[in-house]
């Protein structure tokens, strides 16, 4: 039955449905992103989905959180979403958990998963998730949205972290204003949630089942901004030297930092060589221009000298002719 259900995607070269079907995923947040991400996950046919959210469904959620119905208002988001997803794919283990993610409880509530998906709207919660993922060596699929666009990326021990992505000022502002979909909500539209959620599910597939057609992995975010003429673009991100992830990696995976330093030295060396070549080429071109200029000036002087001698000779001959007359 499952072979028929996922027939179209298994036709993709090198596709291994078993790798997808054996995967265990934790989705943090059952709002707009969470709804559409989970819908994509059951379409992929992942084996197990655990959904975490402590919030309740409200009337204003329904236009963006597409799976919820009017009769679900007042119910817990995670539990309701799990039941609605089971109706669409009963072969997958789907559990909704009414829990708030906290730093001192995350290890107890998130266990035995292959990938964690960030569908939350607060940076400080993302920081908790990312720290846990670095410690546990679990890939984190990050996603964020606004009404004009959004972003997604795969965060691992080998990439910069959430704190490297978001400026400190923005994190402080969030804490000061308590911005979230519950307090101080920001504008949001369904189509942005659908687009970014689809790209997040794509990133899940890349982690679980890398394909030859995938682009080479790079540390950065795939971004969408509908205000631009070319709305999709990739933005590279760098690890901040004094970031918490550096301190954490020194404890759990110092080899990664060592390798990064070696790569940076190699890049700096290559850049220095390129710079030297550019300088040498520039000097050569400058020397050629100067040589050409000198030759031109010498040639002009020579021509002037010849003309001057010729003129003198003509005058002398003219004088001789006059005398002879």
Express each pLDDT in 195-235 by its tens digit.
999 999 999 999 999 999 998 777 899 999 999 999 999 99
Q: What is the pLDDT of residue 68?
A: 98
Quick one: pLDDT band at residue 320, thresholds 50, 70, 90? low
pTM of the predicted structure, to 2 decimals: 0.81
Q: What is the pLDDT of residues 41-90, one digit of tens each?
A: 999 999 999 999 999 999 999 999 999 999 999 999 999 999 999 999 99
Tell me, what's the pLDDT at 177?
A: 65
Inform me whether the pLDDT recorded for 183 exceeds 70.
no
Q: What is the mean pLDDT of the chain?
A: 88
CA 160/CA 163 separation, integer angstroms: 8
**The pLDDT value given to residue 18:** 96
- The dihedrals phi and psi of 240, each to the nearest 5 degrees, come to -70, 135
pLDDT > 90 fraction of the chain, expressed in percent and rounded: 68
Helix spans in the chain (H): 2-5, 7-10, 17-21, 32-44, 77-88, 106-109, 123-136, 162-165, 168-177, 190-208, 244-252, 254-324
What is the maximum span of the chain, computed from C-alpha positions, in angstroms? 130
Regarding beta strands 149-155 and 115-118, do their DSSP bridges make them parallel or antiparallel, or are they unpaired?
unpaired
The span from the CA of 139 to the CA of 154, in Å, is: 7
Give pLDDT, residue 95. Answer: 98
77, 57 Cβ separation under 8 angstroms: yes
Q: What is the pLDDT of residue 325?
A: 47
Taking only the tens place, the pLDDT of each residue in 87-122 is 999 999 999 999 999 999 999 999 999 999 999 999
- Name which residue leads in pLDDT, 305 or 64: 64
**In the prediction, which pLDDT does 172 show?**
72
190 vs 218, residue with greater confidence? 190
Q: Token pair for residue 199?
A: 């790209």
List the Cα angle 296/299/301 in 5-degree steps: 110
């Amino acid at each position: 039955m499952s072979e028929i259900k996922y027939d179209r995607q298994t036709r993709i070269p090198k596709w291994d449905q078993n790798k997808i079907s054996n995967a265990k995923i934790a989705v943090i947040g059952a709002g707009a992103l969470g709804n559409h991400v989970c819908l994509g996950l059951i379409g992929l046919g992942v084996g197990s989905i655990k959904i975490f959210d402590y919030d309740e469904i409200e009337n204003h959620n329904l236009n963006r959180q597409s799976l919820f119905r009017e009769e679900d208002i007042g119910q817990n988001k995670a539990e309701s979403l799990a039941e609605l997803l089971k109706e669409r794919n009963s072969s997958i283990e789907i559990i909704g958990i009414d829990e708030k993610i906290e730093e001192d409880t995350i290890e107890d509530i998130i266990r035995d998963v292959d990938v964690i998906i960030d569908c939350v709207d607060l940076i400080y919660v993302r920081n908790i998730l990312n720290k846990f993922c670095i410690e546990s060596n679990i890939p984190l699929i990050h996603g964020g949205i606004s009404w004009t666009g959004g972003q997604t990326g795969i965060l691992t021990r080998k990439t910069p972290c959430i704190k490297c992505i978001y400026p400190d000022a923005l994190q402080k502002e969030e804490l000061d204003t308590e911005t979230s979909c519950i307090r101080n909500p920001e504008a949001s539209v369904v189509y942005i949630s659908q687009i970014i959620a689809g790209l997040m599910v794509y990133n899940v597939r890349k982690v679980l089942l890398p394909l030859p057609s995938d682009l080479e992995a790079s540390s950065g975010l795939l971004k969408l901004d509908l205000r631009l003429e070319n709305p999709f673009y990739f933005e590279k991100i760098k690890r901040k030297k004094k970031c918490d992830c550096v301190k954490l990696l020194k404890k759990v995976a110092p080899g990664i930092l060592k390798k990064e330093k070696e790569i940076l030295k190699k890049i700096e060396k290559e850049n220095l060589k390129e710079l030297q070549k550019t300088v040498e080429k520039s000097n050569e071109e400058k020397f050629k221009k100067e040589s050409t200029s000198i030759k031109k000036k010498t040639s002009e002087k020579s021509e002037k000298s010849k003309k001057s001698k010729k003129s003198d000779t003509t005058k002398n001959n003219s004088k001789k002719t006059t005398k002879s007359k």
